[in-house]
Structure 1
Amino acid sequence: MHDVKERPTIVERAMLIGVTLPDDTTTNTRSLLDELRELVDTVGFGIMHERMVAIRKPQAKLLVGSGKAQELVDEAKAYNCDVIIFDNELTPAQQRNWEALAEGKILVIDRQEVILDIFGDRAQTKEAVLQVELARLEHNLPRLKSAWTHLSRQRGGGSMQRDAGETQLELDQRMVRTQISRVKRELEGVIQHRETQRKKRMTVPVPTCAIVGYTNAGKSSLLNKLTNSNILAEDKLFATLDPTSRRCPLPSGQPLVITDTVGFVRNLPHRLVDAFKATLEEAIVSNFLIHVLDVNSPEVDAHAQTTLSVLQELGAKDKKIITVFNKIDALWDEETQADLSLRYPDALFISAHSGEGLKELQDKMEAIVEADFAQLRLLIPHERYDLVARLHREGGVRKEEARDDGFYLVASIPERMLSTVQPFILQNSQT
């Protein structure tokens, strides 16, 4: 795919800009700029300078006034920056205007492009790679005009050269639209294949749970702790993009499949919300959710709202949700937990690192599963040991005892198996 703009050979020195809009606050701008710093650090750029700017009214040409824009470009040059990164979303025209103001010497991008770059680097599965490619193509299409501004510098400014550039632009736009169609077709095929696999999995009705939450809240670490796994769990934003599922036996023996999902972030490019709906469908089809929050984050309420808002878009907000505050082993303010307990009375406080609070979490998970599974006492004949084995696979066997007349079990029974085990259910008076 053609580059959207003529990028410098090496981009490594960044200036970050956060613009406080009329309906926003400087506190929120500062918080988002801090988050942008983490995103940019994840990409690997050095941050040379940061600026916050408050405006009374957004300007169509540059978002800020022309005088302020020139001042910011001069600052970027003074700090030898080769990229300016806005926390605010820029239109394609605004990006072109900023780069023209910088005389083509400084690349200008926004938070959306940073997130797209991170997703592009981290995606592993075929589905995630296609989703990111689709989001990138759709993001780039309206920005293709700037890709051909270099023609005038290479060949001069005559009308013949301008016509050639315009013709090439049209060809390039057609090519990108063709690529978008191709990726959509491929993605449909991958999604259909995944849905087929899910239907096969649903024939063995093991309950499922999805871990959701803000990026870097400790979701992957929690999955590792609950399932004794060793999936990637780094102290970085978006360390995990592809959903990872692991089997987790509950204390009763009831099997449960837990899936780690991509982390959310404020101002996530809407294209990525749409592109990753298929991946996040694990949250939609699961029996319940574990919503993980970083207890030490000063923006924990905003992070919680971001996650719940995306879940609402996905149609999963009304599912049963266990809210957990993670990283209490690193709690830096003892009053924080008391305050959060008042505002989130049903929440649990845990540490995926030390294991603190995990017993309470497992008990709550088991209570939710058992509410959807019948608890029965069974006496199954010896010749039906196949049914005993199936109950071990698909239900939760709490107690098993071999007797002369068969196998005595106390078990959680999936609804779809109730008719099968009906002849072997013991009455209350039987033992």
Structure 2
Amino acid sequence: MTQTPANPTPETSPETVERPERDIAGDVVARVLARAGTARAEGGTQHSVYDGEQLELAERTALRRVANLSTELEDVTEVEYRQLRLEKVVLVGLYTGSGDAAAAEAEVSLRELAALAETAGSQVLDGVLQRRQKPDPGTYLGSGKAAELAAVVAATGADTVVIDGELAPSQRRALEDIVKVKVVDRTALILDIFAQHAKSREGKAQVELAQLEYLLPRLRGWGESMSRQAGGQVGGAGAGMGSRGPGETKIELDRRRIRDRMTKLRREIAAMAPARETKRSSRKRHAIPSVAIAGYTNAGKSSLLNALTGAGVLVENALFATLDPTVRRAQTEDGRVYTLADTVGFVRALPHQLVEAFRSTLEEVGQADLLLHVVDASHPDPEGQIAAVRHVLADIPGIDQVLEVVVLNKVDIADPDVVARIRGRERRTIVVSAHTGQGIDDLLQLISDELPRPDVSVDLVVPYHRGDLVNRVHLTGEIDLEEHVETGTRLLARVDEGLALELHAVAVRA
């Protein structure tokens, strides 16, 4: 496809700048389209022996959208009042700068957009890539490129345009008026995927809250049908007595209903927080260390959790396959119990509505003793993924106190030079493959070494009727000697301070 840069400088001739830039943009779009859908074309997600039966994935696949089956309203003016149902889409990217480096960054971003669109259930038909200094305030692309996009949409028969960026409400309306089909930006696309994949009550409430926050400034009214104001009689005109209502237009009524619903959702989410905090406090009270798994979406976090614990949680080669946090119990080789928490994945320019809505869930990371930052070492831009994840993590309270280990996953298919480059830049790294099992034993040993150890020594006899305390010493402490005497179980061990106080309170006096 031919692409043209916006506003070339007068001093530069078309032969020296425009043609190369057109070629670069065309090559990028061609490569993105060639790789779109490759995961499904190759037979879908490749599972390892650690992933179990994957019953949840079978359930999700059974509900996958059917191609060419749609219940969409055809009037584009209804776009704000219905759920997204993406089917056949054209991708649109915009980048600044010039040359191969800028084009490479644009390719990574556009390829990710293609993966997002496919995860939402659509088919990528074509793409348009433009270089310009900044987005056009009117139509994002400019009138000339918008007209070219309209021609591409008409030629391919697409029903949706997906923009690799966040559109202002006025930009989206103007672009829809030109291309005559639904226009969706990156934020709306991510919100749609979250809405599809959320399963828990809290997850669904968090996603709905984020969607409403996104929708509120984007409500749009058309014509007199949106007015609910009757008004008084002026010069004999008007409906007169009995017709004067509250004076709200329909769009104002919609906004009020959305705000009321958002208030209710915030209350529901706040009401769910104590249950999660109670579980967290219980683990702290019993001195159970915690490990949090975080990272970019589709980096292999759930696969790693399965490899470490045999949890059998859902694994899918798709973006944002996991939304609801999963906490599993595990043991070190010397018998100490700890928890592993799999969290929601991050992405570049993660919508701030989602960050705010999922803040209570992300607190699990800030409360952990160890953070496993999982990175897809086979990705074209792993450093960009690391930076995007840390940008979100920086806003989580207490994260600066958590020890971070960068886990380079998928090394079985990664470039060794890239792995060496990242290991040279990061302070603490470990190399694994959750699919083949490479490095998993080393990671388990690292977890065992880095988790906090009990530091209070006890030498006492616990009466036989308090076997629960002896069991807790086995789970969370380190036992040097255990023997059964006439009055109870003698323990020579190291435990945490809280358990030490409980043991001394019930210990048999000599």
Query: When the two structures are superposed, what TM-score results if normalisation uses the length of structure 2?
Result: 0.74
Q: Distance in 1 between matches of 2:224 and 2:88?
A: 23
Task: Note if 1:62 corresponds to 2:139.
Answer: yes
Identify which of 94, 101, 108 aligns with 1:19: 94
Q: Do the aligned residues in 1 keep the contact of 2:292 with 2:370 (CA within 8 Å)?
A: yes
Q: How many residues are paired up?
A: 409
Deviation string for 1:102-134 (max 9, x for gaps)?
A: 2xx300011101100000011111111111001
Task: Note if 1:418 corresponds to 2:493.
Answer: no
Q: Do the aligned residues in 1 keep the contact of 2:327 with 2:341 (CA within 8 Å)?
A: yes
Instruction: Note the C-alpha offset of 1:375.
Output: 6.9
Equivalent in the alignment of 2:339: 257
Q: Distance in 2 between matches of 1:227 and 1:121?
A: 27
Equivalent in the alignment of 2:162: 85
Task: Note if 1:142 corresponds to 2:217.
Answer: yes
Task: Note if 1:185 corresponds to 2:267.
Answer: yes
Query: CA separation of 1:224/1:374 partners in 2, compared to 1, >3 Å: closer, same or farther?
Result: same
Query: CA separation of 1:256/1:80 partners in 2, compared to 1, >3 Å: closer, same or farther?
Result: same
Task: State the secondary structure of the residue aligned to 1:314.
Answer: coil
Moved more, 172-181 or 382-391: 382-391
2:146 partner amino acid:
A
Q: Do the aligned residues in 2 keep the contact of 1:375 with 1:410 (CA within 8 Å)?
A: no
Moved more, 12-21 or 352-361: 352-361
Task: State the secondary structure of the residue aligned to 1:251.
Answer: coil
Task: Note if 1:118 corresponds to 2:201.
Answer: no
Stretches of structure 2 lacking an aligned partner (at least 5 in a row): 1-76, 227-237, 239-244
Query: CA separation of 1:10/1:34 partners in 2, compared to 1, >3 Å: closer, same or farther?
Result: closer
Task: Note if 1:350 corresponds to 2:432.
Answer: yes
Deviation string for 1:350-389 (max 9, x for gaps)?
A: 121222212221222122224x422747453564644322
Deviation string for 1:234-276 (max 9, x for gaps)?
A: 1111111000000011111000011000001111101101111
Equivalent in the alignment of 2:402: 319
Deviation string for 1:291-315 (max 9, x for gaps)?
A: 1111111211011111111111113
Q: Distance in 2 between matches of 1:3 and 1:60?
A: 23
Q: Do the aligned residues in 1 keep the contact of 2:454 with 2:478 (CA within 8 Å)?
A: no
Equivalent in the alignment of 1:225: 307
Equivalent in the alignment of 1:305: 387
Instruction: Note the C-alpha offset of 1:176.
Output: 1.3
Task: State the secondary structure of the residue aligned to 1:58.
Answer: coil
Q: Do the aligned residues in 1 keep the contact of 2:86 with 2:120 (CA within 8 Å)?
A: no
Identify which of 38, 44, 51 aligns with 2:115: 38
Instruction: Note the C-alpha offset of 1:150.
Output: 10
Q: Distance in 2 between matches of 1:260 and 1:128?
A: 14
Equivalent in the alignment of 2:13: none
Stretches of structure 1 lacking an aligned partner (at least 5 in a row): 153-159, 426-431
Equivalent in the alignment of 2:280: 198
1:373 partner amino acid:
P
Q: Distance in 2 between matches of 1:112 and 1:239?
A: 17
Instruction: Note the C-alpha offset of 1:201.
Output: 3.7
Q: Distance in 1 between matches of 2:86 and 2:224?
A: 18
Moved more, 341-350 or 20-29: 20-29
Q: Do the aligned residues in 1 keep the contact of 2:216 with 2:258 (CA within 8 Å)?
A: yes
Q: Distance in 1 between matches of 2:84 and 2:359?
A: 34
Q: Distance in 2 between matches of 1:205 and 1:20?
A: 50
Deviation string for 1:324-351 (max 9, x for gaps)?
A: 11122233x3333333332235200012
Q: Do the aligned residues in 1 keep the contact of 2:84 with 2:192 (CA within 8 Å)?
A: no
Q: Distance in 1 between matches of 2:216 and 2:427?
A: 47
Instruction: Note the C-alpha offset of 1:30.
Output: 1.5
Task: Note if 1:391 corresponds to 2:473.
Answer: yes
1:53 partner amino acid:
Q
Task: Note if 1:278 corresponds to 2:360.
Answer: yes
Instruction: Note the C-alpha offset of 1:290.
Output: 0.8
Q: Distance in 1 between matches of 2:326 and 2:469?
A: 30
Greater per-residue helix proportion: 1
Equivalent in the alignment of 2:172: 95
Task: State the secondary structure of the residue aligned to 1:348.
Answer: strand
Deviation string for 1:5-47 (max 9, x for gaps)?
A: 3669964110000111469933222111110111001011111
Q: Distance in 2 between matches of 1:424 and 1:6?
A: 64
Instruction: Note the C-alpha offset of 1:317.
Output: 3.9
Instruction: Note the C-alpha offset of 1:407.
Output: 4.5
1:417 partner amino acid:
L
1:329 partner amino acid:
D
Task: Note if 1:215 corresponds to 2:297.
Answer: yes
Equivalent in the alignment of 1:428: none
1:55 partner amino acid:
R
Instruction: Note the C-alpha offset of 1:421.
Output: 4.7
Query: When the two structures are superposed, what TM-score results if normalisation uses the length of structure 1?
Result: 0.86
Deviation string for 1:406-427 (max 9, x for gaps)?
A: 64656452232233456999xx
Q: Distance in 1 between matches of 2:209 and 2:481?
A: 52
2:162 partner amino acid:
I
1:12 partner amino acid:
E
Q: Do the aligned residues in 2 keep the contact of 1:232 with 1:240 (CA within 8 Å)?
A: yes
Instruction: Note the C-alpha offset of 1:401.
Output: 3.9
Equivalent in the alignment of 1:156: none
Instruction: Note the C-alpha offset of 1:193.
Output: 3.3
Task: State the secondary structure of the residue aligned to 2:211.
Answer: helix
Identity of aligned residues (%): 36
Query: CA separation of 1:206/1:282 partners in 2, compared to 1, >3 Å: closer, same or farther?
Result: same
1:91 partner amino acid:
A
Identify which of 76, 82, 86 aligns with 2:153: 76
Q: Do the aligned residues in 2 keep the contact of 1:248 with 1:255 (CA within 8 Å)?
A: yes
Q: Over the residues paired in the alignment, what is the CA RMSD in angstroms?
A: 3.0
Q: Do the aligned residues in 2 keep the contact of 1:379 with 1:424 (CA within 8 Å)?
A: no
Identify which of 448, 465, 481 aligns with 1:366: 448
Task: State the secondary structure of the residue aligned to 2:220.
Answer: helix
Instruction: Note the C-alpha offset of 1:177.
Output: 1.5
Q: Distance in 1 between matches of 2:84 and 2:365?
A: 41
Q: Distance in 1 between matches of 2:490 and 2:411?
A: 43
1:342 partner amino acid:
G
2:407 partner amino acid:
V
1:323 partner amino acid:
V
Q: Distance in 2 between matches of 1:108 and 1:223?
A: 37
Q: Do the aligned residues in 1 keep the contact of 2:285 with 2:498 (CA within 8 Å)?
A: no
